[in-house]
Structure 1
């Protein structure tokens, strides 16, 4: 194992950070990376959008305490321009920021609401075959009563970009079932060159948004646009659903918790222990306590009280049902 790790290719990491909630999530991501993966040999970029006509307010990460803390944790601030998306579709940050990363260097993007829980250098990435998170529900598309069906909807997108639809299918799954079709959560994805990946991602996303195929006429694109375009990009660049063994990302090495009430409600004890451990040092706590969800759930102990109310051996199948359960108990905060 040591020899394999010694020869494993170095790569960069990108997350997005801006004013508001994401800046505190970025701090926790960086702290968890340094704690759990001390052998990580790449660069950690915190991409932050610059003010401009696509933003009503200045979105830039500019809190001096947060910036100092990120620097101390070894992160590099990466400014980027929001030309296509911005305020109207902030999920597009992850797409446009890719274009500002060092080209031709392997990369992994993570949503900022992620903790690194294990040795990231142990993940057997093959960056020549891009991939993305399979921890998802069948959130898109939602076929209507009179059609078109889910297969016709996806095929129209592959046809739009001259991609081979048939080779993307998982034929072990039945027709019309969402898992038959290539679909990812955009919580993480990786590839060989962020600029080439980002250019393709931007091309596909803006084309779908600006002129959806007729088959999408009854479909909602917001907030799903990034997850609609992502499988097309992965497929076009030679990747797929089987490029990483199970159990690493979204497993022993990373946790995409999404929101802190969800983390306390459903994640393993080891994830909660890690969160509280990396948030404990005073030099980190004095910054993170300014974010109300972290203050209440982590530092004031309400997370433990929420956790005691949830049966993690009998969680609802759908995330929305769990959210409703947390809200009914009076612990929802974001």
Structure 2
């Protein structure tokens, strides 16, 4: 008897939106979601930090045309308070925003600089076992001469929070190779309840920031704090690196492009064609052209000039090499 496909539990999506680049990226995200995932039947939240003492300027989206288009695309603006991070560490937005999402409802958080490229309702999420993006380089920790190694640094964090370190290891990689240790990019993550996940994420991040183990004394935490805390949160909640089958997010169904020059340099033709399709309508073009990098990259052909610099079948292994080539040719924008 043929096995019935697993029914995916309804879920919400959250991205961060605020004045400046992120409001235009949020618009791109919403347009890509509606274009590529017509089967998505959850709510799309654009979580927006509110003015307060942790912000020098009002971070809210105030452009009426952007707000109108986001609403037309089914996005809901979700205000949240910055109580711990704010302007000093804007990556903390993704932590504090979780506590404003509907409690007890499964969620997927995406970095705003992401395109949805396939049907999300087909992705086989198990919301009881969280995971996050494995499209990551070994950015943290940076080992210092005579300082502690990977094992000593990561084990000190697992010990701090009473977690089993050994069960987090990928033994297919040798000792002191960075991939042996649980490490994610925070470009997406998911779980069954944003409040449970968010409170633990907040607790761990604040503890690491304010009272780090001695083994972290030589380590930079800005901008890596969220990515240091994230694997600990996921491990503590019963998730891991293999909780989501590879090839879906950061694969067929989503693209974390991060910056448009990097998208044009390294993503496949399908992704570039999707970007072209969702930015073509006049009502969207009129808004996106207000942001100079989008105007030049998408509408004035700079993106195609970047694309011509690279062979997608033979890309440099390190992202910094890609960035440097774009900069040398005068096409870098952010």
Same fold (TM over 0.5): yes
> C-alpha offsets along residues 75-132 of structure 1, whole Å, 9 cap, x if unaligned?
0000000000001000000000000000110000000000000011110000000000
Q: Which moved more, 1:218-227 or 1:294-303?
A: 294-303
Q: SS at the partner of 1:4?
A: coil
Pairwise CA distance, 1:314: 2.0
Partner of 2:50: 50
Q: How many Å apart are 1:156 and its aligned residue?
A: 0.4
Normalising by the residue count of structure 1, what TM-score does the alignment of the two structures yield? 0.98
The offset of 1:34, in angstroms, is: 0.2
In the alignment, what sits opposite 1:267? Answer: 267
Per the TM alignment, residue 145 of structure 1 is displaced from its structure 2 partner at its CA by 1.2
- 1:217-271 deviation digits (Å, cap 9, x = unpaired): 0000000000000000000000000011111000000000000000000000110
1:276 matched to 2:251? The reply is no
Q: Who is 2:316 aligned against?
A: 316
Quick one: distance in 1 between partners of 2:116 and 2:51?
Answer: 30
User: What CA RMSD, in Å, does the superposition of the two structures yield over aligned residues?
Assistant: 1.2
> Which residue is equivalent to 2:231?
231
CA positional deviation for 1:62: 1.7
**How is 1:77-226 mapped onto 2 (pairs within 5 angstroms)?**
77-226=77-226
Instruction: Provide TM-score, normalisation by structure 2.
Output: 0.98
Alpha-carbon distance, 1:312 to partner: 1.8
Q: Would you say 1:62 and 2:65 are equivalent positions?
A: no
Shift of 1:147: 2.2
SS in 1 for 2:258: coil
Tell me, which stretches of 5 or more residues in structure 2 are unaligned? none
Which runs of 5 or more residues in structure 1 are unaligned? none
- Number of equivalenced pairs: 333
- Which shows bigger deviation, 60-69 or 120-129? 60-69
Q: Tell me, yes or no, if structure 1 residue 19 matches structure 2 residue 26.
A: no
Runs of 4+ aligned structure 1 residues displaced above 6 Å come to none
